[in-house]
Amino acid sequence: MSELIRISGVEVEYAAKKVLSGINVSIRQGELVTVCGRTGCGKSTMLRLILGAETPTRGRVLIDGREHGRPDRDRGYVPQKYSLFPDRTVLDNITFGPMMERFWLFGKRKKEHREEALEYLRMTGLHESDAHKYPDQLSGGMQQRVAIAQALIMRPRILLMDEAFSALDPATRADMQKLIRDLWARAGMTILFVTHNIAEAIYLGSRVLVLGKEQPEAGSRVLLDIEIEDCKHERLTKLIENAVMCNQREMEVPA
Amino acid sequence: MTLFRVDTQINRPTAWILSWFLFVAGISLYFYTSQKRHLENPEDKVVPGLSQLSQGISDAFLKADADDQSATGDGFFHSMLWTDTVASGKRFLWAMLLLIPAVVLGLHMGMFPVVGQFFLRFILFFDKIIALSVLPVLFIAFGIDELAKIMLIVIGVTPTIILDCFNLTKGVPQEQIVKGFTLGAKDFSVTYRIVLKQIMPRVLNSIRLNLKAVMLFLFAGEMIASQNGLAFRIALLRRHMGMNVIIPYVLWVALLLFLVDLTMRVANRRLHPWFREA
């Protein structure tokens, strides 16, 4: 698999406070990378750097070997909150992206987009009867399903999900995790998933990055970068838990 | 005692009585005072009685202005009240139309940092200027015609609307803007198709809440320099102690404002079915 994203020597400072320092990560095409760490360790900042919603103080973020500016249609985004436009129905939310690119006034085009949107709606486990509802008439899980459909219809090269399931109940969360695994297996796109839930990071990821601060005043670094094989054993969980809890790069892990 | 209990449940009849009580009390007090004054002086004009009021209403609603040479015929659409309402209404509509650029400016200030930086400090300063204090300047600069009156309303209300729109725009979650870009929208599409659409119901509410200010400045302009209009008539009748016409005029203005407010509220609900008022 070829390299898609390269983060090299990235540092981020807010008002002289270091958030990230010395981040060097390379992400290959088709990987599902989960990023975990404690609250405030800079997980979302790292995601926003790739998204283009933030610029590093030092270092570079390259996608396909080029520096990309502001967010664009190549990078899909599913945040934890405010993921849908409240003034549009489910169907209009999903067709928003395709409509942006074409002359939406032409009926035929509009019809095609709507049909495509309905396919994505079904793919994410929603019913056609939900198509004309407004976001506030949907549950949290349904809203996130729509947000995923909204992002997927654009066929982005990278899907960036920022704590996308953290507000969901455990059962819905499990359903959504399965959905993401299935979609990833089917579409083979590159996904970067930020979470503070270690079990979720291990279940979802083909690779797990743990961010953390070795010293309180320093910015966060990558403490752990593990490729996860199909077999997920307890030792791996312990290793990641130790990295998150103790903020240390190398830990003695019980056998 | 349930008067100051935060969890008091009010049944329908009690709610009805509570909400209409002050109206009934006010009207009763008025007629009690009127009757008392008329017992002392049957010619009293300050607090007109029912017969004086009905005479005033009939004069205002059905008769043309005696001083207006161009006024012909009788009936409501030739009446003094109707011609005054049309004159004030035109000024009011112009002022409302001029609020559209204010909304657009506030939106652009909130969305585009350069525009925001350029205008914000000036608008904040401008907002602190008491519009009535620049009235003489307006009359000198724009004459005493319609323009000066409309400019008075614009100067009085637009800074508030601009700043309100600016704050509403800034209040749209950043995630929505980023999301718009990831869905292929460009700057103006994000501004108008995402942000404006989301803030529009709140903008309409803000304009609704400023309706009284619009009328206040309109009345100030009309009272000082005008040949027609509702406030002109009230100012004119004040000189003749024409309370029997002033009171119906005041109630008419309140009714008109209530109807404009209601229309805007209903339109807001119809146009933005997704919007839930706080």
Q: Which CATH class is domain A1-74+160-255?
A: alpha beta
User: What pLDDT is recorded for position A255?
Assistant: 44
Q: Quick check: A81 and B173 CB within 8 A?
A: yes
Asked if A147 and A84 count as a contact pair (C-beta separation under 8 A), the reply is yes
Q: Quick check: A83 and B185 CB within 8 A?
A: no
pTM: 0.87
Whole-angstrom CA distances from B180 to A73, A96, A144, A174, A189 are 9, 9, 16, 28, 21
Q: Specify the residue for token string 């304009």.
A: B207
In tens, the pLDDT along B38-88 reads 999 988 889 999 999 999 899 888 888 777 666 666 778 888 899 999 999
Q: Which two tokens stand for residue B79?
A: 């009446």
**Residue B230 within a domain:** yes
CA-nearest residue to B188 within chain A is A100
CA-nearest residue to B179 within chain A is A77
User: What pLDDT is recorded for position A103?
Assistant: 54
Nearest Cα to A24, choosing from A205, A222, A168, A201? Answer: A222
User: What pLDDT is recorded for position B278?
Assistant: 62
- Amino acid code (one letter) for B269: R
Q: Quick check: B184 and A154 CB within 8 A?
A: yes
**Residue B109 within a domain:** yes
In total, chain A counts a number of residues equal to 255
Cα distance between residue B212 and residue B104, in whole Å: 22
Q: Quick check: B176 and A82 CB within 8 A?
A: yes
Residues of chain B with pLDDT under 50: none
Q: Please tell me if residue A113 touches chain B, with a CB cutoff of 8 Å.
A: no
Whole-angstrom CA distances from A218 to A12, A61, A213, A242, B262 are 11, 21, 6, 19, 58
This model of the complex carries an ipTM of 0.89
How many structural domains comprise chain B? 1
* Residue-level pLDDT, tens digit, chain A, 255 residues: 689 999 999 999 988 888 898 899 999 999 999 999 888 889 999 999 999 999 999 999 999 999 888 999 999 999 988 889 999 999 999 999 998 876 555 555 788 889 999 999 998 888 999 999 999 999 999 999 999 999 999 999 999 999 999 888 888 888 889 989 988 988 888 999 999 888 899 889 999 999 988 777 788 888 888 888 755 566 677 777 777 776 666 544 444
Cα distance between residue B165 and residue B183, in whole Å: 25
Radius of gyration of chain A (CA): 19
Chain A residues with beta carbon closer than 8 angstroms to that of B184: 72-73, 97, 100-101, 154
**Residue B184 within a domain:** yes
User: What pLDDT is recorded for position A253?
Assistant: 47
The CATH number of residue B205's host domain is 1.10.3720.10
Is A208 in a helix, a strand, or coil? strand
Cα A150 off chain centre by: 14
Is B111 in a helix, a strand, or coil? helix
Q: Testing the interface with A: which of B112, B172, B183 to mutate, by most A Cβ within 10 A?
A: B183
CA-nearest residue to B178 within chain A is A71
The 8-class DSSP code of residue A106 comes to S
Helix/strand/coil percentages in chain A, nearest 5: 35, 25, 35
CB-nearest to A97 from B173, B184, B273 is B184
Domain ranges across chain A: 1-74+160-255, 85-155
Chain A residues with beta carbon closer than 8 angstroms to that of B189: 100
Cα distance between residue B248 and residue B246, in whole Å: 6
Asked if A155 and A171 count as a contact pair (C-beta separation under 8 A), the reply is no
**Residue B157 within a domain:** yes
- Domain containing B165 equals 98-271
User: What pLDDT is recorded for position B226?
Assistant: 79
Residue A247 has φ and ψ, to the nearest 5°, of 50, 45
